[in-house]
Amino acid sequence: MIEVRELCREFAVTTRTGRFRRTRRTVRAVDSVSFDVAAGEAVGYVGPNGAGKSTTIKMLTGILVPTSGHVRVSGVDPSRSRRELTRRIGVVFGQRSQLWWDLPLRDSFDLLRAIYRVGAADYARRLRECVELLELSGFLDRPVRQLSLGQRMRGEVTASLLHGPELLVLDEPTIGLDLESKERLREFLADLNTTRGTTLLLTTHDLDDIERLCPRLVVIDRGTVLADGPLEELRAEVAPERVLVVDLEKPADPLGDLAGVVAVRSELGGLRQHLTFRRDETTAAALIAAVATRAEVHDLVVEEPEIDDVVRRLYARR
Ligand SMILES: Nc1ncnc2c1ncn2[C@@H]1O[C@H](COP(=O)(O)OP(=O)(O)OP(=O)(O)O)[C@@H](O)[C@H]1O
Ligand 1 neighbour 55 (Cβ under 6 A):
yes
pLDDT less than 70: residues of the chain: 318
Q: What topology is assigned to 2-235 in CATH?
A: Rossmann fold (3.40.50)
Tens of pLDDT, residue by residue over 19-50, are 888 888 899 999 999 999 999 999 999 888 88
Tens of pLDDT, residue by residue over 128-187, are 999 988 889 999 999 999 998 889 999 999 999 999 999 999 998 888 888 888 888 999
Q: Where in the chain are all domains bearing CATH 3.30.70? A: 240-316
* Ligand 1 atom, smallest distance to 57 CA: 18
Distance (angstroms) between ligand 1 centre and the Cα of 22 equals: 21
pLDDT in the model for residue 318: 66
Ligand 1 neighbour 204 (Cβ under 6 A):
no
Distance (angstroms) between ligand 1 centre and the Cα of 220 equals: 12
Ligand 1 neighbour 53 (Cβ under 6 A):
yes
67, with CB counted inside 10 A (0-12, 13-18, 19+), is: middle
* Ligand 1 atom, smallest distance to 205 CA: 25
Which one, of 172, 158, 169, lies nearest residue 1 by Cα? 169
Side-chain half-sphere of 165: how many Cα atoms within 13 Å?
Answer: 28
Looking at residue 111, its amino acid is: L
Helix 105-116 with 149-161: angle, nearest 10 deg: 20
Taking the CB of residue 139, how many other CB atoms lie within 10 A of it?
Answer: 19
* Ligand 1 atom, smallest distance to 220 CA: 21
* Ligand 1 atom, smallest distance to 55 CA: 18
> Which residues, at least 6 apart from 81, have a Cβ–Cβ distance to it below 8 Å?
62
* Ligand 1 atom, smallest distance to 58 CA: 18
Alpha-carbon distances of 292 from 55, 90, 244, 288, 297, rounded to whole Å? 54, 54, 13, 6, 6
> Which residues, at least 6 apart from 272, have a Cβ–Cβ distance to it below 8 Å?
245, 246, 247, 248, 266
CA distance 147 to 132: 18
* Ligand 1 atom, smallest distance to 52 CA: 18
CA distance 200 to 121: 25
Query: DSSP secondary structure string, 35-62?
Result: EEE-TT-EEEEE-STTSSHHHHHHHHTT
| 3-state per-residue secondary structure call for 247-302 | EECCCCCCCCCCCCEEEEEEEHHHCEEEEEEECCCCCHHHHHHHHHHHCCEEEEEE
194, 100 in Cβ contact below 8 A? Answer: no
Distance (angstroms) between ligand 1 centre and the Cα of 27 equals: 9
By alpha-carbon position, which residue is closest to atom 8 of ligand 1? 55
Q: Where in the chain are all domains bearing CATH 3.40.50.300? A: 2-235
DSSP letter, residue 304: P
What H or E segment, with its residue span, contains residue 199? strand 199-203
By alpha-carbon position, which residue is closest to atom 28 of ligand 1? 50
Ligand 1 neighbour 47 (Cβ under 6 A):
yes
Secondary structure (3-state) at 239: coil
What H or E segment, with its residue span, contains residue 318? none
- Give the mean pLDDT of the chain: 90
Ligand 1 neighbour 94 (Cβ under 6 A):
no
Q: What topology is assigned to 240-316 in CATH?
A: Alpha-Beta Plaits (3.30.70)
Distance (angstroms) between ligand 1 centre and the Cα of 55 equals: 6
Ligand 1 neighbour 52 (Cβ under 6 A):
yes
* Ligand 1 atom, smallest distance to 54 CA: 22
pLDDT in the model for residue 111: 93
The radius of gyration computed from the CA coordinates of the chain, to the nearest angstrom, equals 24
Alpha-carbon distances of 291 from 260, 263, 268, 276, 318, rounded to whole Å? 12, 14, 17, 13, 38
Ligand 1 neighbour 262 (Cβ under 6 A):
no
Taking the CB of residue 249, how many other CB atoms lie within 10 A of it?
Answer: 11
